[in-house]
Amino acid sequence: MAKRASGKKATKKATTKKAVSKRTAGKRASGAAVEPEIRVKEYAQRRERVMKALGGAVGVVFSGEAGNTLLGKWRADQHFVYLTGITDEPGAMLVLDGKAEDPRRRVMVFLRPSDPEVEAWDGYREGIGSAFKAKYGVESVMRTRYVPRLMTQLARKRKRFACLHSPAMPDAKVSPDLALFRQLAERVVGVSIEDRTELLPALRSVKSKAEQAVMARAIAATAAGHEAAMRTMRPGCDEADIAKALARAFEDAGGEGMGYAPIVGAGLNTTVLHYTENRGPVADGDLVLVDAGATFGGYTADITRTFPANGTFSKRQREIYEIVLEAELAAIAAVKPGAAMWEVDRAARKVIEKAGYGDAFMHGIGHQLGLDVHDAEPDGKLKAGMIVTIEPGIYLPEEKIGVRIEDDILVTEKGSKNLSPMIVKEPDEIERLMRG
């Protein structure tokens, strides 16, 4: 999850490229298990891959502008986070110039000027001295006041810019990098603008071993939350009781927050795909659908389970549940390198259509997962290292029955691996645990 600076003064010790966080270092010293993390070296490798792919064109990635943080923490653009690890600098900018004569200027980070009056309200920021540079592995860190002059110089020297931000829809503002490049092209003769918007989604979609470990940690915290939700629900409770138990268990298990607005719906609410009110009553005989994922290290899990509120599926509920479970297992079996997501979707849809409920499965089979719950979607087919969700469902409002089952699946060299098998989904096992 992205973080905004707290009200405390930034007094962190400099973190060198070989250093680790205080939390990790403390665990090493005590002999406890070391929490997974993305190291500075990996961020540098990501930037190198981008510059190599750009072939001499200049790329720019923005962190995004600050909004109204009174309603929640500010969240940086995830392309920017992926390439820098910086999560708490609104208005920042990363410039990648692979042909820079000075090797220190191949990667440049620009931050807003320091403003003590603003920081007194929003939180104190780190300076841009050696500690900040070492922490993020960037040698050139400057204030944004220098951006106009520097970008004009790059326009004259390189003549090539590459758009890395996702293209905007026709009714929205153009992406910030394209807007900047157009301004430069109006002022410097011969500047070209290239479309490389597929590059970062392709890189982000294939998860490194470190990313896989971080996501496994998020899934472990999520497992604790779903178990707590299952043990909390009972006829007469409220959806809010379940949602609170879920959130507490995420935190107690080491999760760092919610990856998205959780869904806890009972009865008719199980049939609302993006239900987030989470305040309705839970009646005897209801199903309860729980769609929630914890975050860890900025990465999120995404798991859905459907439980009987009273601990026992009715005959009809079990019938629908087992169709969805069969469809999910068929889709997971179809996940492999070289497969397209539409083929995975078809595997699940064939099961549901054969059972006569094709019209009741009205959404896609899943999506990429990572820094965002609906992570950057690359072009092309599945590749080893991708992590996708598989989440078929059947929704019957007239019967107040909605069933969705969702797991997080790693694409391996030869097939796939379910990263969330510890979260029970077999109906007999669910009933046994809820009775116990």
Q: Where are the domains of the chain?
A: 22-203, 206-435
Q: Cα angle at 50 between 47 and 53, to 5 degrees?
A: 150
CATH of domain 206-435: 3.90.230.10
**182 contact partners, CB below 8 Å, separation of at least 6:** 174, 193
Give the per-residue pLDDT at 345: 98
Give the per-residue pLDDT at 121: 80
Residue 389 CB: number of other CB atoms within 10 A?
Answer: 23
Mean local confidence (pLDDT), 105-130: 90
Residue 143 CB: number of other CB atoms within 10 A?
Answer: 12
Give the per-residue pLDDT at 26: 40
pLDDT digits (tens, 9 = 90+) for 138-177: 999 999 999 999 999 999 999 999 999 999 999 999 999 9
Pair of tokens at residue 304? 């859905």
Quote the mean pLDDT of the chain.
92
Query: HSE of 211 in the Cβ direction (CA atoms, 13 Å)?
Result: 21
Report percent pLDDT > 90 for the chain.
Answer: 86
The architecture CATH gives domain 22-203: 3-Layer(aba) Sandwich (3.40)
Give the per-residue pLDDT at 70: 65
Residue with tokens 């944004």: 144
pLDDT digits (tens, 9 = 90+) for 336-389: 999 999 999 999 999 999 999 999 999 999 999 999 999 999 999 999 999 999
CA distance 129 to 136: 11
Whole-angstrom CA distances from 155 to 80, 93, 101, 192 are 22, 17, 15, 9
Q: Please, which pLDDT band fits residue 116 given cuts at 50, 70 and 90?
A: confident
- The more confident residue out of 69 and 209 is 209
